[in-house]
Every structure is written in structure tokens, then in C-alpha cells.
Amino acid sequence: MERTRANQLNRRRFLAQAGLVGGVGAVATQPGSSQALAASNLASSSKPSRVLVLGAGMSGLTAALALHRRGHDVQVLEYQNRIGGRLISVPLKNGQTTEGGGGHFRTNMPLVCGYISRFRLPLIAMNDGCPRFHVAGQIGDANLMQPWPWELQPGERNVSLPSLLANALVKVGINLNTVLEPHWPNPQVLKQLDPLTLKSLLQSTGASEALIRLIDAYAAEATVDTAVLALLPDFAYHFADRNLFRIAGGNERLPQAMAQVLGNRVHLGVPAVSIRQTANEISVVTKDGRTWTADSVISTIPFTILREMEITPRLLPRKQALVDQLEWSPVVKVYVQTRTPLWLKNGVHGWPMAASDRPWERVIDITGNEPGGYGNIFFYLTGKNAENFLKRPKETRAMEVVNQFRADLPGLIDEVVTVGEFSWPDQPWIKAAFANLPLGAGWMIQEWQIPEGRLHFAGDFTTLKSGWVEGAIESGLRAARQIDPQARPEFEIELS
């Protein structure tokens, strides 16, 4: 038996192993074969149970793998004919890849780093953003803080936006570094933040309207009118760590590698249509008419879909309110490949390279050190912007967005070789991109952790890290531990 070293993971080792220190991305090595990785904990599993996991995204696969390692009889039922859920990679020319969903990771995501390291996936290092802001018809460059064309207060000048935001939060007693801790927020902080939007919080610290508009542009999918409780984890990820990366060949390689260990326990193209439980067991009927019976079910089905399913007996009123009232936002990505990443010459790059209050919120450069030589960016459209985009003619709408940007920053995108779109509202297995905690809905945080009899819930949307793979993994482990408290993350497993 050899103990994997990933459980002693630290940032330096992770970066070195991934090839982010001292060179380009590491060469891919295959994870151990399914056989070599056979569950080593069978003997210690006191009572194997039958578990159905609904959904083969990151949360479902995390839960399934953790329980499989403990010797439980796990079957994963997936709606689509593919693995990965919202990690979905799109091939471009010259061997490059863009991401329809989850696009980047950071080293302040210990679970993500642990799983990537465990499967020895090669990485592409990416640049953090040095954006141009397009706000109120004016353009300001994050490189050139002086002069900014906005009416900022004296104390708001000459400092970067992330620093200003962090300062504002400290004034109301919030340390962004604590926000990502597993048990954040405590009851007192929850009570304090639950009724606040980001805007009301910033106003209470005396922030100028210009600063609030700039932060609104920077926040992209999250507007300043969003519940601050839902926003803070996003800010903690974006601002507390500047080491960005993605998986060479596509982020969906991570869930694919996890599914490979599970082998024929993963069943594709079998949407669950109903769930029924009794005192003794729980069963799921899939669209093909089959009935699957188990001791427990872990559902990672997005609530946009779950709320339309037949569940017997009905969910308790508070759980039903959670499923019905959690909000979901639309997102469209318009991706663009260019002959060269020529924006680097203009001093803008990274995540994001432009932030705006225009019909696109962000332009994000994911090129980094990806081999292939082409520039690789996407436009991020959310909320009303995404809805308006989807009303435009399908043949021309992606190019319309690109053309708008061409007018904004002349010369920046002159060498387009590929343009395409990935629209989240059009995906029938989710119909949206992310869940957002509504204002004043802090009660949901506890509710989404509570199983309903034999039915357990996971998915990034059952954490405050909604919209992040870190949250998806965290939720999968939580649900697995509700069934078997000894369930552990993949990188802590002893491998033979």
C-alpha cells in the first residue's frame, strides 16, 4: 500500500506538481486503472448500503466515489449522455479548448486542488485580470488608476478596486479571508448580513455612487442589488487569490477521470422522473421506465428540474419552499478565438480583461500559457443581458456582441478565427446557470443541508459557494458523510 502524498498537499507542492512553478504545464499521466484503485476500505465498511446518486456532475461523482471507496453499492443515474454537468469543454482550432461552464480554478480552492492533483491532470496557467472598465460611457484602465474618469471620493483614488472593496468590508467587520471557511457565517454574522444587498452595505460605509457602479461592473453575474451573503464567497475567490488555472484539454477531464474509476456504475441517458420512499427503502423511476431501488438517494438534480419531478411523499413545506424559491440566473458565453492574443500588447489581460455596464458584462481572457498560439477569450452575459441576447437572431447574435466590443476597443479583436456561443437557459437538464440565494433567505443555508428521510441533497447550489466547483465537491462530501461518516475526499484515500 502506498499512501498518496496529496493528503499532505500544500500550495507550493500543488503548483509544482501541476507545472505552474518553474515551467509550462505538466505532462498528463493517467490515474491508476479502475482495478488498481479498487476500494481499499471495504473491510472497514461496517454495513454496505445501496446508494443511488442522481447526476454525474462534480457533486454527484464526489459523493459516489467517496461511498464507493467505502465499499457501498453505488449507482449513478445521469440525465445526459455525457459526464460532467456544468463542467463542459468545447474544442477550438489548433487543439485549444474553451469552457461552456466552469472556466477556472484558484489555489484557494483546496478540494479542487486535491482532486486535480490526485488525478494528475495537466494545467494551463492563466492571468488574473487587469481590466478596462467601460462604465457610464467612459473607459478607465486598471493599469492607469490616475486619472480615472469617475467622480470617486479622495479616499477612493489610486487604489485598486479589490482593495477598496476589501476595505469597505473590513469597516463592517467582515474579513474576506474567513468567508470561505466551512462554517461561515456564524449565527450573528448571518443575522447581520441576511437583509443586506451589496449596495446597501457599501452605502453604509460611505462609498461613492461611482465606486458602487464600478464594483457593479466588476461583479458581473452578481449585481450590487444581490444579497451580500451570496456575493461574499465570490469576492473571496476572485480577490483573495491571483493564481488562476484550468485543465489542459478541458475542465471536464476531471469529472471524466472520476467517472472512470466508477466504471459501469455510471449510467448515462437515464433522467430520473420520480422519487418514492417508504420506511424501508427508496426508489427512483427513470424516463426509460426502469425502477431503481436503494437504501438512500443523493440528489444533485438542479432545483429547476427537481421542482417539476414527482416526489412521494411530498417534501416537507420548508424544503419545498427552498426548492421553489431558490433563484437561478441565466448566463450566455460568447467565445472567440483569435489568431494571436494581441490584447497583451495593450496591457489588458486575464479574468476579466474588460468589465462593463454594457450589454456584455465581462470579457475574459483564458489564453494563459495554452499551447496552440491562438488567443482564447469569452464574453460573459448574464441576467437581462443574457435574456436580450437570446431574443436576437441565432445566426448573427454572437458576432453582434463581438462587433460591439470591436467598437469599444478598436484594434483589440481584429483577428477572429472562431466565434460561438454556449447558452445555459437552453440546457434542458438545468435551464439556467447558477443558483442565487435570495435576499432575506438566510434560512435556506441550514435547510439545504437537511436530508428528507432517505433523500439527501447535494450540488453547488446547496452551499454558499454556489457557482463554484469547490462548493460542488464540498456538498458531495457532506451528503456522502450523512450516509457514512467515514467517507473521505479522493485525495485522502489510500490507494493500492
Ligand X SMILES: Cc1cc2nc3c(=O)[nH]c(=O)nc-3n(C[C@H](O)[C@H](O)[C@H](O)COP(=O)(O)OP(=O)(O)OC[C@H]3O[C@@H](n4cnc5c(N)ncnc54)[C@H](O)[C@@H]3O)c2cc1C
Q: Which is nearer to ligand X, 209 or 310 (CB)?
A: 310
Residues 158-197 binding ligand X (CB under 6 A) are none
Q: CA end-to-end span of the chain, whole Å?
A: 5
Q: Which of 86, 132, 358, 488 binds ligand X (CB under 6 A)?
A: 86
Nearest distance from residue 22's CB to ligand X, in Å? 25
Q: Does 78 bind ligand X (CB under 6 A)?
A: yes
Q: Does 378 bind ligand X (CB under 6 A)?
A: no
Nearest distance from residue 78's CB to ligand X, in Å? 5
Query: Which grid coordinates are listed for 5?
Result: 502524498
For 85: left if phi > 0, alpha if psi spans -120 to 50, otherwise beta; the answer is left
Q: Which is nearer to ligand X, 197 or 423 (CB)?
A: 423
β 123-126/132-135 pair status: unpaired
| 405: Cβ contacts below 8 Å, ≥ 6 apart | 354, 360, 363, 379, 412, 413
Contact 475, 58 (CB under 8 A): no
Q: Does 425 bind ligand X (CB under 6 A)?
A: no
CA distance 51 to 68: 9
Q: Which of 4, 429, 431, 492 binds ligand X (CB under 6 A)?
A: 429
The Cα-based distances of 264 to 34, 57, 300, 465, 493 in angstroms read 11, 16, 19, 30, 21
Q: Does 129 bind ligand X (CB under 6 A)?
A: no
CA distance 43 to 40: 8
Q: Which is nearer to ligand X, 306 or 402 (CB)?
A: 306
Q: Which of 18, 20, 59, 152 binds ligand X (CB under 6 A)?
A: 59
For 459: left if phi > 0, alpha if psi spans -120 to 50, otherwise beta; the answer is left
Contact 268, 81 (CB under 8 A): yes
Which residue, among 349, 380, 374, has the nearest Cα to 126 in the 3D structure?
A: 349
Contact 115, 490 (CB under 8 A): yes
Q: Which is nearer to ligand X, 57 or 140 (CB)?
A: 57
Q: Which of 193, 222, 297, 472 binds ligand X (CB under 6 A)?
A: 472
Kindly determine how many residues on this chain lie close enough to bind ligand X according to the rule CB under 6 A: 38
Question: What is the contact mask toward ligand X in residues 328 to 367, using x (rule: CB under 6 A)?
Answer: ---x-x----------------------------------
Ordered alpha helix ranges (H), 418-468: 443-447
Contact 110, 122 (CB under 8 A): no
Q: Does 379 bind ligand X (CB under 6 A)?
A: no
59 is in an annotated binding site: yes
Binding segment for ligand X among 37-45, 98-106, 136-144, 411-419 (CB under 6 A)? 98-106
Q: Does 430 bind ligand X (CB under 6 A)?
A: yes
Q: Does 111 bind ligand X (CB under 6 A)?
A: no
Residues 222-251 binding ligand X (CB under 6 A) are none
Q: Does 467 bind ligand X (CB under 6 A)?
A: yes
329 is in an annotated binding site: no
The Cα-based distances of 399 to 258, 323, 378 in angstroms read 36, 37, 12
CA distance 360 to 358: 5
Q: Does 386 bind ligand X (CB under 6 A)?
A: no
CA distance 424 to 444: 24
Nearest distance from residue 241's CB to ligand X, in Å? 12
Binding segment for ligand X among 29-37, 147-155, 341-349, 463-471 (CB under 6 A)? 463-471
Nearest distance from residue 327's CB to ligand X, in Å? 15
Q: Does 14 bind ligand X (CB under 6 A)?
A: no
CA distance 426 to 331: 10
Q: Does 375 bind ligand X (CB under 6 A)?
A: no
Q: Which is nearer to ligand X, 77 or 164 (CB)?
A: 77
CA distance 285 to 351: 42
Residues that bind ligand X (CB under 6 A): 54-60, 77-80, 85-87, 101-105, 271-272, 300-302, 305, 331, 333, 424, 429-430, 433, 459-460, 467-469, 471-472
| Known binding-site residue numbers for FAD | 59
